[in-house]
């Protein structure tokens, strides 16, 4: 499960729009929205790509965002 709040905060800090992030990830805006809102899970490859885009470093930070219980 994704921590939607933390992820949205990182996106706001990045000054990027969701549609631009989705395009860089190779998915649609609506797919990104569904994944962020825990309707659909992120794939491992998408987590890696989004981490690069948002400059998320370290396994602990990724874990706190993408693997919340």
Q: Domains in the chain: how many in total?
A: 1
Looking at residue 58, its pLDDT comes to 85
Residue range 34-57: mean pLDDT, rounded? 96
pTM score above 0.85: yes
What is the domain-level CATH number for residue 23?
A: 1.10.260.40
How sure is the predictor about 36, in pLDDT bands with cuts at 50, 70 and 90?
very high
Residue 55: how many CB atoms within 10 A of its CB?
A: 9
Above pLDDT 70, what percent of the chain? 100
Write out the residue range of the structural domain in which residue 31 sits: 4-66
Q: How far apart are CA 68 and CA 2, in angstroms?
A: 6
Residue range 27-51: mean pLDDT, rounded? 97
Q: Does 69 score more than 90 pLDDT?
A: no
- Residues 16/29, Cβ–Cβ less than 8 Å: no
């Amino acid at each position: 499960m994704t921590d939607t709040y933390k992820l949205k905060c990182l996106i706001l800090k990045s000054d990027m729009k969701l549609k631009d992030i989705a395009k860089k990830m190779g998915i649609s805006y609506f797919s990104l929205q569904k994944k962020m809102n825990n309707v659909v899970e992120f794939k491992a490859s998408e987590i890696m790509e989004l981490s690069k885009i948002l400059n998320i470093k370290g396994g602990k930070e990724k874990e706190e965002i993408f693997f919340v219980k």
